[in-house]
Chain A
Amino acid sequence: MRIRNREKPFGIEKPVTARGQIVIIEDRCKGCGFCIEYCPNDVLRLSDKYNSKGYHPPYVAHEEECVDCGFCQMNCPDFAIFSVEVESGEREPAPAESVKR
């Protein structure tokens, strides 16, 4: 049965996920954009600035959305990005539709 897609499910228990902090080693980046493409929670964006090689590195636009899944790290061909778990905590869940890929 189709269930209603609510903006935010409510309830007494809030969802708990890991929270990640993203570290970007800008000078290694060649601006391929894989990390941005593969991030399931849309955390990263391409920045306007240039690195020493003359590419646009990504920047962290929505750190609060990072769940430390490590997809950016696994996809980066140049080992220029990684995430570390900082804490676990309650999150407001995103609507189901936007999570579905």
Chain B
Amino acid sequence: MNGNGKKKRIGVFVCHCGVNIAGVVDVERVAKALEGYSGVSFSTHYIYMCSEPGQNMILETIREEKLDSIIVAACSPTLHEKTFQSVIELAGLNPYQVEIANIREQDSWVHSDKEKATLKAIKIVKSMVEKVLQNESLEPIRVGVTRRALVIGAGISGIQSALDIADHGYEVLLVEKNPSIGGHMIQLSETFPTLDCSQCIMTPKMVEASRHPNIRILTYHEVESISGYVGNFKVKIRKKPRFVDPDKCTMCADCEDVCPQIVSDEFNMGLSFRKAIYLPFPQAVPGTYTLDIENCLGLLPIRCGKCKEVCEPDAINYDDQETVFEEEVGAVVVSTGYDLYDLNHLGEFGGEKYEDVINGLEFERILSASGPTGGEVRRPSDGKVPKNVVFIQCCGSRDPENHNPYCSKICCMYTSKHAMLYKHHVPDGNATVFYIDVRTGGKNFEEFYQRTIDEDQVLYVRGKVSKVYKEGDKIIVWGVDTLTGRKIEMEADLVVLAMSMVQTDGVNELLKKLRISSDANGWLSEAHPKLRPVESLNAGFYLAGCAHGPKDIPETVSQASAAVAKVGDLFAQEQLLHEPTVVPVDEDLCSGCGICVTICPYSARELDKEKGVVKVNEVLCEGCGACAAACPSGAAQQRNQTDDQIFSMVRAILRG
């Protein structure tokens, strides 16, 4: 009987799934056994229910037999529930009047005894009949979409995402924690395999982003928290005090000249200095100075005030405050980038003890024309031009026992580029590369690597380095050539380590709050490794760039554009539909104990203190049923999965 007291007319359709089900379960017997079972007015079997003839058969049978609900005994509902919902919708029925009895994953695939498997299939289908008898017709929950996106992190992936979303005609907030956009890419000297100058290809993009009418760049801002649900997020953004008005600052550098505080320059990886009031690099966007309050002599109770004294446009405001404000967005692109693995983890290479043992990004700055040495290759300890440079690959990568198990993917190529550029700068120098494998999977990558060996005479040694130490002002590299089996002891003036890429500090904490999952190595997890690589499992969040795993620039840019295509899918919808099989509260039964509030993994439930009952935000509810199981008074009942339904299903199974 259904809710109206009218007897239901149920159709049962048993699928063979080729031999997947029919090989173990006697499908004909299952169909026969269901004939005449309570409410079942039609029962049949067919080789592939999901095929077009199978779907047509269901459609015709519903019309001929005047069915009002159906059961498809087939595979898991994750595979084909949607398929059959749309079939019965075509026949004019409510999609929530179809149930899938899973007799493949839960029966034929896990059993071999035909007799027992057939009996089990009959029980499963009968239990589903009991459920369908009490199924209500439901309408999906509809919500609007805020057509505005948030992009977290403004490296190349964030800038590309923001530009693409903006070109689609939607507004974008581009949030960056550093004073300028640009990320790691703007630090690079030249890019493989074409040797384009990184700044030459990056700065036009940065300027384009800053001039685009749809992009609002929020540098020196951080995302504090995100609440809400797909299409309707509320983002709390914290503005860090910059103490300089970007609109007034003319970048005249007068403040920088008088500032007495000297600190290491982050943009140059600590290889040069900057003042406490500084411009991160000449092409910074937005073009404004920033007062780094950590290193300023201080503003309270007294201040040195030299920068403000000389600032002609009066851009400096010592009363700037940290503020938190809220913005509404519909989609979030996470493009937070990467960090390099800390050199201190590699004690055998001296950690950070030896000044001339440096990481790849430091060498990028030394190679860069805008770097601390003005484009000349000099070593940090004494500024001499190094004549013997040793490059070591896989530092912290591909070492599951001690460090990271994964391959950082870009190091083979950038080491090859480093060695080539070094030879271009110092033609009479010697470059040696220690490698485990050279992986050059990419367009024109192998040719580039071959050029390094053939044209630039870089020596590649297959083997690991066990120790790097200092003797006098020489660095000694101890390794092994695994092709000849000989030990190698080599003098070097400079050692460049291809450090592993790791997840950015602090990002995982933020993502835990957003309920985006990450893998064992800290990289963000995609919804499906092959078919949904740019979406997060949490609807409305999209992944771009190295936050999702090591990537080179072309791959990062492609992923950013792909993520934006998905944002476009979301924004193109007039209204978003949400599954109605949520768990509402029966206010008459709810005692307000709040057990369901603490148990809900989606923060969909909260206690209404005035009424003393629990309120449900049905859009946030994913229908997991945890609250329904925990509710001591039976006030939380999942739609179409009520306690009554579950008990009758259990009874049907026990009866056989």
Contacts and interface: CB of A to CB of B under 8 A. Distances in A.
Contacts of B270: 3-6, 9, 96
A7 B353 CA distance: 10
Contact of A100 (B257, B268, B295): B295
B383 interface: yes
B260 interface: yes
Given A9-B271, A9-B272, A3 B304 contact: no
B264 interface: yes
Interface in A1-56: 1-7, 9-13, 15-18, 38, 40
A62 interface: no
A18 B258 contact: yes
A10 B264 contact: no
B383 A10 contact: yes
B355 to A, nearest CB: 7
B364 to A, nearest CB: 13
A40 B259 CA distance: 13
Contacts of B272: 9-11, 13
B247 interface: no
B273 interface: yes
Contacts of A91: 262
Contact of B355 (A1, A7, A40): A7
B457 interface: no
Given A10-B380, A71-B304, A99-B295, A3 B269 contact: yes
Contact of A17 (B260, B298, B374, B504): B260
Contact of A6 (B275, B294, B340, B380): B380
B513 interface: no
A17 B372 contact: no
A93 B262 contact: yes
Contact of B265 (A9, A16, A74, A75): A9
B297 A11 contact: no
Contacts of B352: 4-5
A89 B488 CA distance: 47
Residue from B261, B372, B374 with most neighbouring chain A CB atoms (10 Å): B261
A69 B372 contact: no
The binding surface of chain A is classed by DSSP as: loop
B260 A9 contact: no
Which residue of B262, B272, B339, B342 has the most chain A CB atoms within 10 A of its CB atom? B262
Nearest to A16: B257
Interface in A70-101: 70-71, 74-75, 91, 93-96, 99-101
A16 B256 CA distance: 10
B306 interface: yes
B302 interface: yes
Interface residues of A, number: 33
A2 B339 CA distance: 8
Highest count of chain A CB atoms <10 Å: which of B257, B258, B260, B302: B260
B306 A69 contact: yes
Contacts of B372: 9-12
Q: Report which residue of B265, B271, B273 has the largest number of chain A beta carbons within 10 angstroms of its beta carbon.
A: B273
Interface string B466-501: 000000000000000000000000000000000000
A69 to B, nearest CB: 4
Interface string B571-614: 00000000000000000000000000000000000000000000
B266 interface: yes
Contacts of A74: 302
A99 B304 contact: no
B260 A67 contact: yes
A69 B504 CA distance: 36
Nearest to A91: B262
A11 B374 CA distance: 8
Interface in B108-154: none
Contact of B260 (A3, A10, A68, A95): A68
Nearest to A75: B302
Contacts of B342: 2
Contacts of B340: 1
B355 A71 contact: no
B343 interface: yes
Contacts of A95: 264
Interface in B438-459: none
B519 interface: no
Interface in B294-327: 294-295, 297-298, 302, 304, 306
B626 interface: no
Contact of B262 (A10, A15, A68, A69): A15
Q: Which of B257, B263, B373, B383 has the most CB of A within 10 A?
A: B263
A67 B259 CA distance: 9
Contact of A69 (B266, B269, B304, B355): B304
Given A4-B362, A10-B383, A18-B260, 12 more contacts: A2-B339, A4-B352, A9-B268, A11-B273, A12-B373, A15-B273, A17-B262, A38-B302, A70-B304, A74-B302, A93-B273, A100-B295
28 contacts: A1-B339, A3-B264, A4-B343, A4-B352, A4-B362, A5-B270, A9-B270, A9-B372, A10-B372, A11-B268, A15-B262, A15-B273, A15-B275, A16-B257, A17-B262, A18-B258, A18-B260, A38-B302, A40-B261, A67-B261, A69-B304, A70-B304, A71-B302, A74-B302, A75-B302, A96-B270, A99-B262, A100-B263
Interface of B: 257-266, 268-273, 275, 294-295, 297-298, 302, 304, 306, 339-340, 342-343, 352, 355, 362, 372-374, 378, 380, 383, 504-505
